[in-house]
């Protein structure tokens, strides 16, 4: 994260002095106040030219921040962050067509700063074994649309319908014996029968109603309707 550096304030002009006892030439020195509040002595030329911008605290801070980033480069969250950016922004990524190709993006605050993403993840339920899930599959990767879930929950919240599905609706299939459309839903590996209907549309609406009424993570058929 970039931070504005305030130029040190001259509080005492020391005039021309020798940098060291062995020096043959004098240099113009001054006592300055750093943005952190510390006072330090340095050459006025270096301050004027921007070579010296602090008492040394800024360099230490940037070194610490770089160490933090480097220390997290092997963290699972860093790999997740890189993967999100790639599938949203790299056309060569094999999954780009399902993300960036559909207009799915990653918000600027996450894309430009891993630490911001890391901090959000830790504060919002990240644990080893969980995966990041977009609540709205047509929405972007951003704090308001993401959560940490198990792979089972994430598989329920998908826009894709199985290829063997002939009804075109989630949770709806045709029962040959009764010649009706049946609405069913899988919850924790158990199949729940919702009801039988004359049309696939009615069955799909019943499926959606069940998901909404029971506050389930499953994707519904008719968003916003």
Q: What is the pLDDT of residues 31-84, one digit of tens each?
A: 988 777 778 888 888 888 877 777 776 665 555 555 555 567 778 898 899 999
Percent with pLDDT over 70 in the chain: 83
**How confident is the model over 15-20, as a mean pLDDT?**
86
Q: Indicate the number of domains in the chain.
A: 3
Residue 2 included in any domain: no
In the DSSP assignment, the letter for residue 40 is: E
Determine, yes or no, domain membership for 120.
Answer: yes
Same domain, 106 and 39: no
Nearest-5° Cα angle at 133, 132 to 136 = 150
Q: How far is CA 195 from CA 38, 105, 187, in A?
A: 74, 38, 16
* Average pLDDT score over residue span 198-205: 91
- In this predicted model, what pLDDT tens digit does every residue of 108-144 receive, in sequence order? 999 988 889 999 999 999 988 888 988 888 889 999 9
Residues 196-208: what's their mean pLDDT?
91
DSSP 141: B
pTM of the model: 0.47
Structural domain includes residue 1: no
The two structure tokens encoding residue 37: 């509040």
129 and 142 fall within a common domain: yes
Are residues 120 and 80 located together in one domain of the fold? yes
Q: Which CATH number fits the domain that encloses residue 177?
A: 3.30.730.10
CA distance 137 to 160: 10
Residue ranges making up the domain that contains 23:
9-69
* Mean predicted confidence (pLDDT) in 17-27: 83
pLDDT at 211: 85
Confidence check: pLDDT of 154 > 80: no
Neighbours of 85 (CB within 10 A): 20
Assess whether 201 and 134 both reside in one domain.
no
Other residues' Cβ atoms within 10 Å of the Cβ of residue 161: 15
| pLDDT greater than 60 at residue 221 | yes
């Amino acid at each position: 994260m970039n931070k504005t550096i305030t130029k040190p304030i001259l509080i005492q002009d020391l005039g021309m002095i020798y940098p060291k006892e062995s020096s043959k030439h004098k240099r113009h020195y001054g006592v300055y106040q750093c943005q952190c509040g510390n006072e330090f002595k340095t050459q006025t030329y270096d301050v004027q030219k921007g070579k010296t911008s602090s008492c040394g605290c800024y360099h230490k801070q940037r070194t610490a921040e770089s160490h933090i980033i480097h220390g997290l480069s092997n963290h699972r969250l860093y790999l997740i962050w890189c993967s999100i950016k790639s599938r949203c922004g790299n056309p060569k990524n094999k999954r780009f067509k399902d993300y960036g190709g559909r207009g799915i993006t990653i918000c600027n605050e996450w894309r430009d700063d891993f630490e911001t993403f890391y901090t959000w993840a830790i504060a919002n339920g990240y644990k080893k074994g969980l995966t990041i899930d977009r609540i709205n599959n047509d929405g972007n990767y951003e704090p308001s649309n993401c959560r940490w879930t198990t792979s089972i929950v994430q598989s329920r919240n998908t826009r894709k319908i199985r290829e063997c599905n002939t009804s075109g609706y989630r949770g709806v299939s045709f029962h040959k014996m009764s010649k009706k459309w049946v609405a069913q839903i899988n919850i924790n590996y158990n199949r729940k029968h919702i009801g039988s209907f004359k049309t696939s549309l009615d069955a799909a609406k019943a499926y959606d109603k069940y998901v909404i009424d029971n506050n389930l993570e499953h994707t519904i058929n008719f968003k916003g309707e």
